[in-house]
Chains A and B, each alone.
Chain A
Amino acid sequence: MSRKLVIPGELVAEGDFKLENGVYREDNKIYSSVMGLLDIRGRTIRIIPLTGKYVPKVGDFVIGIISDIEFSRWYVDINSAHSAVLNSSDYFRDIDPFQTDLSKILSLGDTIYAKVREITPRKKVYITMQEKGARIIKKGKVIEVTPTKVPRIIGRKGSMLSMIKKKTRINILVGQNGRIWLDGSPEQTDLVTKAIEMIEREAHTAGLTDRVKNMIISEREKK
C-alpha cells in the first residue's frame, strides 16, 4: 500500500467524502491542511501528518514532567500546547492537601507516567495516576520523538515494541506525547535509542519491523 505525500493546500479529492484529520472542504473540493501521507479508505479521507505537536486525547498514557506545584495540584508539562493538571485526588492514593505538602510527594522536575482522564471544552487537560500502569519514573533515560511517529514505534498491535523488548531485554514505556522512557544497561539503551531514531527516520516506509530487527541483531553481533 503506497500513500501519496501531500502538502498543505493541495487538492486531494473531489466529491462526497467523510473528512477526518488534516483535510478541509471548500465547495466540493477537498484540500490538505498539513504535510503528510494521504490515506483514502472507502469514502473516508485522512492525512497522516509527518510532523506535529502532541494533541491530548482522553485515554492516552503520557510521560510528563512536574512544572509547577499549587496547594492541591501539580502542573505537568506533557510536551503539548496544553499543560496538564494532576489533582491531589488523582494521585495513587487520595491525599489531603491540608495534611501533606505536595512538593514532598512529587517535586519540580520529577517525571511521571500517567493517563489523560479528561479534557474540558476549553482544552484544560486533567491527568490521573489512579490507573493500572501509572507510575513515577525515578531512573533511566527519556528520549523525545515526533508524537506523530509514536504509532509506528508501537507497531501494529504492539509488534514493534514487543520485538524491541524481546531482543534487548530493556524496560520501555511509550508516552503518546512523544516521550519514551528506556531503562536498562547503557549499551542496550544506546542500541534502543538508535533503533527508535531509525523508526522515526523511516516511519513512512514498509517492512520496517524486519529491518529494525536486523539492525539490532547485526549491532549486537558486532560487540
Chain B
Amino acid sequence: MYDLIAEIKRDNIIQTLKAGKRVDNRGFDEYRPIAVEVGVGEKAEGSAIVQIGKTRVMAGVKLAIGEPFPDMPNSGVLTTNAELRPLASPTFEKGPPGEDTIELARVVDRGIRESECIDLEKLCRVEGEEVWIVFIDLHILDYDGNLFDACELGAISALVDTRLPKVEDGMIIYKEKTDERLPIKDLPVETTFAKIGDNIVVDPILDEEQVMDARLTVAYTKKGDICAMQKGGVGTFTEKEILEVIDRGLEKSKELRKHIPFKEV
C-alpha cells in the first residue's frame, strides 16, 4: 500500500513506544472503541458494519443455490471476497484485486472456514446436486489500520445476522426472508499485533502499520483454540514473541467476541 511516511512521524511513533506509550494514548493491549451494527443492508441476507476507531468495514452475506464440489457432495460452499474501495483511502485504486485485497479475503476466509463456525453439511439440500452457497463480501469504507480484525468481526456478525430466503420449486425468492438462520457453531475472532522495534502492540492504526516491522494475526475459536494464523511484513518474530502474542491475543479475543450480536438458542 502506501509506504511513504514522514521521517519525523516514524521517529515520533518509535520514541513514544519506547517511553511505554502509544501515539493515540492507548495501552499496548488496548483496542480502539469498537461498534458493531447488524442488519444494515436490506438486500443482503445478512449484513453488518464494524467500526474500530476510524476503520470502517461493511460485510454482507448473500446466499445462492448451486452445485457442490464433486469431492464434497454433501457440504455447502463458502466463498469470501474483499474489496478495498477507493473512497476508503487515497492509496486504494479500483481495478482487479491486488495482493493486499487477496490476503485480506483469504485470512478472513481461513478464520471462518477452519473454525468450522458454519456447519456446512447442514447447508446441503440434495446430496451431490443442490447446496447453499454462502458469499461473504467485505467492503472497506474507511481505512485506518487493522483491517483483519474489523473484517473478521464484520464477517461473523453478518453470518450471525443472516436469515435464509424463501425457496419455492428450487427458486429463491430473495424478497421474502424466512426465520431460519445459518447453522452457526462457533464464533471465531482474529486479533492482530504489530511489532514496532522491540514493542508489540495490538490493533495498530494506519501510522503504526506504516512503520511496523511485522504483524501477526491469530484467529481463535470460542474454546480458545487457534484456528488460523497469518504473519506479514518483512520483520521477524522470535519463538518467545509468538507465544506471547498468542497469549495476549487470547485475552483480547474474549473481549472482541462480546461485540458479536449472537444469541444462544
Binding site for B on A (CB under 8 A): 65, 67, 77, 108-111, 137-142, 186, 190
Contact = CB atoms under 8 A, between A and B. Distances in A.
Contacts of B5: 109
Nearest to B25: A190
Nearest to A107: B7
Contacts of B6: 65, 109-111, 142
Contact of B8 (A67, A77, A142): A142
A139 B8 contact: yes
B171 interface: no
A67 B119 CA distance: 50
A190 B6 CA distance: 19
A110 B9 CA distance: 10
Given A67-B4, A77-B4, A190-B25, A109 B10 contact: yes
Nearest to B13: A141
A142 B23 CA distance: 11
Contacts of A186: 16, 19
Contacts of A141: 8-9, 12
Given A186-B19, A190-B25, A139 B4 contact: no
A165 B5 CA distance: 27
Given A65-B4, A108-B4, A186-B19, A139 B9 contact: no
Contacts of B247: none
Sort chain B's interface into a size bin. 10 to 19
Given A110-B7, A142-B8, 14 more contacts: A65-B6, A108-B4, A109-B4, A109-B5, A109-B6, A109-B7, A111-B7, A111-B8, A137-B8, A139-B11, A140-B8, A140-B12, A142-B9, A190-B25
A186 to B, nearest CB: 7
Most buried by B among A138, A141, A142, A186: A141
Contacts of B8: 111, 137-142
Nearest to B4: A67
Nearest to B12: A141
Nearest to B7: A109
Determine chain B's interface SS by DSSP, over half rule: helix
Nearest to A140: B8
Contacts of A108: 4
A139 B11 CA distance: 8
A130 to B, nearest CB: 22
A72 to B, nearest CB: 21
A2 B196 CA distance: 48
A137 B11 CA distance: 12
Contacts of A140: 8, 12
A206 B240 CA distance: 55
8 contacts: A65-B4, A65-B6, A77-B4, A111-B6, A139-B11, A142-B6, A142-B8, A142-B9
Contacts of B9: 141-142
Most buried by A among B8, B9, B10, B25: B8
Name, among A77, A109, A137, the residue most crowded by chain B CB atoms within 10 Å (CB to CB).
A109
A164 to B, nearest CB: 19
A108 B10 CA distance: 13
Nearest to A67: B4
A108 B4 CA distance: 8
Contacts of B19: 186
A142 B9 CA distance: 7
A142 B6 CA distance: 9
Nearest to A137: B8
B150 to A, nearest CB: 22
Nearest to B15: A186
A107 to B, nearest CB: 8
A111 B6 CA distance: 6
Contacts of A65: 4, 6
Interface in B1-36: 4-12, 16, 19, 25
Nearest to B10: A109
The 7 closest A-B pairs by CB, nearest first: A109-B7, A65-B6, A141-B12, A111-B6, A67-B4, A111-B8, A109-B6
B9 to A, nearest CB: 6
B144 to A, nearest CB: 12
A141 B8 CA distance: 7
A143 to B, nearest CB: 10
Nearest to A186: B19
